[in-house]
């Protein structure tokens, strides 16, 4: 969709989670269908967009990337302001990144809107042989917290579309 004038809604979505879990690559897979194995950490806050159709409405997803701030636990409240959805990523091969998910949920509850829709994403499923987080652990956490749960691979693209579409459809149904 190239004509901005026909956009019905703009949805702000934030991507959060520990450094190196694949936030930037999941985002570039979704918005540009690209992947870069040796991506350097991003500098400066930025967002990418993708325009898509949900139930005949043209929706522009404006998806924000923490851009390296996660290292210093310095994601500011401005980052969360106005966000209707959040993609909370961990790396299925890094137990720490899953153990920190609860802290990220706290961050969201503290800084984001109460009604924010949250998807928990276990990324890098292409590295199944190095898995350190059983799916069941994440399913249980997601159920307890009322989050959607997906396992994705930015490398293969597995489930990336499904995860974003589910989140955006859910936002559409609640706003």
What are the residues binding Mg ion (CB under 5 A)? 23-24, 42
The Cα 23–Cα 89 span in angstroms is 7
Asked whether the beta carbons of 29 and 65 are under 8 A apart, the reply is no
Stretch of residues binding ligand GDP (CB under 6 A), selected from 23-31, 45-53, 79-87, 135-143: 23-31
User: Taking the CA atoms of the chain, what radius of gyration do you get in angstroms?
Assistant: 15
22 forms part of the interface with ligand GDP (CB under 6 A): yes
39 forms part of the interface with ligand GDP (CB under 6 A): yes
The smaller minimum CB distance to ligand GDP, of residues 62 and 159, is found at: 159
| Torsional sign, CA 132, 15, 85, 76 | positive
End-to-end CA distance of the chain: 22
Stretch of residues binding ligand GDP (CB under 6 A), selected from 20-28, 47-55, 98-106, 111-119: 20-28
23 forms part of the interface with ligand GDP (CB under 6 A): yes
20 forms part of the interface with ligand GDP (CB under 6 A): yes
Between strands 117-123 and 85-91, the pairing is parallel
Footprint of ligand GDP on residues 135-174 (CB under 6 A)? 153-155
Instruction: Provide, rounded to whole angstroms, the least separation between the CB of residue 127 and ligand GDP.
Output: 5
52 forms part of the interface with ligand GDP (CB under 6 A): no
123 forms part of the interface with ligand GDP (CB under 6 A): yes
Return the structure tokens found at 72.
Answer: 């210093």
Question: Residue 17 CB: number of other CB atoms within 10 A?
Answer: 25
Angle between helix axes 160-174 and 23-32 (nearest 10 degrees) is 80
77 binds, options ligand GDP, Mg ion, none, Cβ within 5 to 8 A by partner type: none
The contact set with ligand GDP (CB under 6 A) reads: 19-25, 36-39, 41, 123-124, 126-127, 153-155
């Amino acid at each position: 969709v190239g004509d901005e004038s026909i956009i019905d809604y703009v949805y702000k979505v934030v991507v959060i989670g520990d450094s190196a879990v694949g936030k930037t690559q999941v985002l570039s897979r979704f918005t540009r269908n690209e992947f870069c194995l040796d991506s350097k950490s991003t500098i400066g806050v930025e967002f990418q967009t993708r325009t898509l159709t949900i139930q005949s409405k043209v929706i522009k997803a404006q998806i924000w990337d923490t851009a390296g701030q996660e290292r210093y636990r310095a994601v500011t409240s401005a980052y969360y302001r106005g966000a209707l959805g959040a993609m909370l990523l961990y790396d299925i091969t890094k137990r720490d990144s899953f153990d920190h998910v609860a802290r990220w949920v706290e961050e969201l509850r503290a800084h984001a809107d109460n009604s924010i829709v949250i998807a928990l994403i276990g990324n890098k499923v292409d590295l199944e042989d190095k898995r350190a987080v059983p799916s069941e652990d994440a399913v249980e956490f997601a159920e307890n917290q009322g989050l959607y749960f997906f396992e994705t691979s930015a490398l293969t693209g597995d489930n990336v579309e499904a995860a974003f579409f589910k989140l955006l459809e859910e936002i559409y149904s609640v706003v």
